[in-house]
Amino acid sequence: MIQLIWDGLFVGSFYALIALGYSMVYGIIKLLNFAHGDIYMLGAFIGFAVLTSVGGIPASLSIGALLVVMLVSMLLTGTAGVLIERLAYRPLRGAPRLAVLITAVGVSFSLEYGISALAGPNPRAFPIRLEGNVFVLLGARISLPQIILMLIAAMLMVLLNFYVEKTSTGRAMRAISLDRNASLLMGINVNQVISRTFFIGSALAGAAGVMAGAYYGKIDFLMGFIIGLKAFTAAVIGGIGNIKGAMLGGLVLGFVEAFGAEWFGGQWRDVFAFAVLILFLTLRPTGILGQRVTERV
Amino acid sequence: MAMLEFDNVAVYYGKVQALRGISLTVEEGEIVALLGNNGAGKTTTLSTASGLVKSHSGRVSFNGTDITKAMPWNVVGAGLIHVPEGRRIFSTMTVLENLLLGGYLVKDRALVAKRIATVYELLPLLAERSTQQGGTLSGGEQQMLAIGRALIAGPKMLMLDEPSMGLAPLIVARVMQVISEIRDQGTTVLLVEQNARAALKVTDRAYVIDGGTTTIEGRAVDLLGDSRIIDAYLGA
Ligand SMILES: Nc1ncnc2c1ncn2[C@@H]1O[C@H](COP(=O)(O)OP(=O)(O)OP(=O)(O)O)[C@@H](O)[C@H]1O
Ligand SMILES: [Mg+2]
């Protein structure tokens, strides 16, 4: 039981990191950015490129190296997110939703096959592999790398939450998702805030990509596909557009998968995740935290 | 030099022409009403000035600067603040957060805090509800919040779109009183109203818009006795 909770929490924190970008972008421009999972993949490959170009890293330094590589990767994936919005989505502002959605799918393919062309279609071994002792915590097994990665994910989410709740730009992001025209009348430069949103969301996905590479040890150009769908599921579970919802949805999905795989067998893991997605889309499309607040018109 | 000037402005929504040559001026320190029936083009006029809507032809200038093609945030930065029709409060954000958003472009935080204090003094009911969600306020309170929020930007000129809409007569009177106080403190005001009687009581001059053009212009005291106004906008 406790074991399942640890497993769920671990996988869930990955989902949450990626779901955040999904949800933030949806909140602010009402776009399901299907290329978001591929930013995670891009992050892993940037980490891979940086690490291979500096050569071997002694195992004792791997955590420090991981953090540095993660920062570099976050900067670059963040920039990639900004460019994608700028070049692919912004020109379509005001165009029918479907046109933008199809563009997002196109961007997704471009990233996947672009990386495949650059790095080859075969899986690559990630240059650092986090290894560490396995602890028994509250009667269940958890490894040091798992703990470290969960802590990093938690820290990133705390920072993000602070940014969105307390800073002027964060407030502007929330304002735009509530009412874009009213935000314009506040003097908010909507383009700038949208760029920042893409930067942050993509950087978080990039961080998750590097973490996944270091944990699983293997990366490939399609690794973002399934996890992108899972992150979308997590965002829907929590209430798409809602930041806390994305975090919660990630964890819930992690638990659902861990428990589902335990009770019904590992091969049902993904089926479970998508069953939950369909269940939410039909029964409660606003998610757990969506539109709970009283409104008076 | 006029503070706000429209020179023969035309606006289209797709193929539909909403403004067909609006010309008007508002001088510094004035409070001017913009009257007209539903669909006359009042909101479109304000939205053109604030940059939400782009004009097809003509020219809009503010304090001598051409703002015809300006982005909304540049218009706000120049000190021309538009309080939109229907208040448009950020409903799930607190009263305080709404006010802080009004000061989005003000870099000096101490100045924002000072302006919020001033607004709380002018509108004490907002101070009491500082941590309440904007969407839970009554219509009159939301209107006060929308006006208060605009004041945090430090406006040179306010454009108010139907602040009396949906409010009880007593509250309308209070809103009009607040608007004249704001003018008395030196802010120029352009007031869009369907409630012509309430508007003409507090304004110096007025324009009437009909079918997307300015048709009548005059001093408020004169218009209150003008038969064209009485018949069309003041009732019998
Ligand atoms: N977004 C829009 N798309 C298409 N047509 C519009 C749009 N907004 C306004 N219009 C049209 O433009 C004309 C002017 O509308 P506007 O909202 O400026 O009028 P108004 O004087 O503010 O009316 P009201 O008193 O009802 O608020 C109307 O015919 C309206 O139908
Ligand atoms: Mg209107």
Domains defined along chain B, listed by start: 25-52+79-234 (3.40.50.300)
Please indicate whether residue B16, judged by its CB atom, sits closer than 6 Å to ligand 1: yes
Flag whether pLDDT at B92 surpasses 50.
Answer: yes
Q: Are B218 and B187 in contact (CB under 8 A)?
A: no
Whether the model clears a pTM of 0.90, i.e. scores above it, the answer is: yes
Mean pLDDT of chain B: 94
Q: Tell me how far apart the alpha carbons of residues A37 and A104 are, in angstroms, rounded to a whole number.
A: 11
Pair of tokens at residue A38:
């591929």
Please tell me the predicted confidence (pLDDT) of residue A47. 94
Q: Are B217 and B210 in contact (CB under 8 A)?
A: no
Cα A92 off chain centre by: 24
What's A2-283's CATH class?
Answer: mainly alpha
Q: Tell me how far apart the alpha carbons of residues B7 and B60 are, in angstroms, rounded to a whole number.
A: 6
Please indicate whether residue B34, judged by its CB atom, sits closer than 6 Å to ligand 1: no
Pair of tokens at residue B165:
């809409």
* Nearest protein Cα to ligand 1, atom 7: B13
Min Cα distance B171 → chain A (Å) is: 17
- Contacts for A124 with CB less than 8 Å, ≥ 6 apart: A48, A218, A219, A220
CB contact under 8 A, A187 and B71: no
CB contact under 8 A, A187 and B104: yes
- Contacts for B138 with CB less than 8 Å, ≥ 6 apart: none
Please indicate whether residue B11, judged by its CB atom, sits closer than 6 Å to ligand 1: no
DSSP structure class, residue A128: -
Kindly list the strands in the beta sheet with B157-161, ordered across the sheet, starting from the edge strand earlier in the chain: B80-83, B157-161, B188-193, B31-35, B205-210, B213-219
Q: Tell me how far apart the alpha carbons of residues A291 and A117 are, in angstroms, rounded to a whole number.
A: 43
CB contact under 8 A, A185 and B97: no
Best residue among B44, B160, B161, B193 to mutate for probing ligand 1, ranked by most atoms within 8 Å of CB: B44
Please tell me the predicted confidence (pLDDT) of residue A61. 66
Flag whether pLDDT at B62 surpasses 80.
Answer: yes
Please indicate whether residue B13, judged by its CB atom, sits closer than 6 Å to ligand 1: yes
Residue of A183, A185, A289 to mutate, interface with B, max B Cβ within 10 Å: A185
Is some CB atom of chain A closer than 8 A to the CB atom of B90? yes
Min Cα distance A44 → chain B (Å) is: 37
Min Cα distance A236 → chain B (Å) is: 20
All residues of chain A having their beta carbon less than 8 Å from the beta carbon of residue B44 are none
Of A168, A181, A293, the CB nearest to B92: A293
Please tell me the predicted confidence (pLDDT) of residue B236. 47
Please tell me the predicted confidence (pLDDT) of residue A46. 96
**Residue pLDDT tens, chain A, 297 long:** 788 888 899 999 999 999 999 999 999 998 999 999 999 999 999 999 999 888 766 666 677 888 999 999 999 999 999 999 999 999 998 899 899 999 999 999 999 999 999 998 999 988 888 777 788 877 788 888 888 889 999 999 999 999 999 999 999 999 999 999 999 999 999 999 999 999 999 999 999 999 999 888 899 999 999 999 999 999 999 988 888 899 999 999 999 988 888 888 878 888 888 888 888 888 888 888 876 443 333
Q: Is A187 helix (H, G, I), strand (E, B) or coil?
A: coil
Residue identified by tokens 């007569």 is: B169
Flag whether pLDDT at B150 surpasses 70.
Answer: yes
DSSP structure class, residue B24: E
Quote the ipTM score.
0.95
**At residue B179, what are phi and psi to the nearest 5 degrees?**
-65, -40
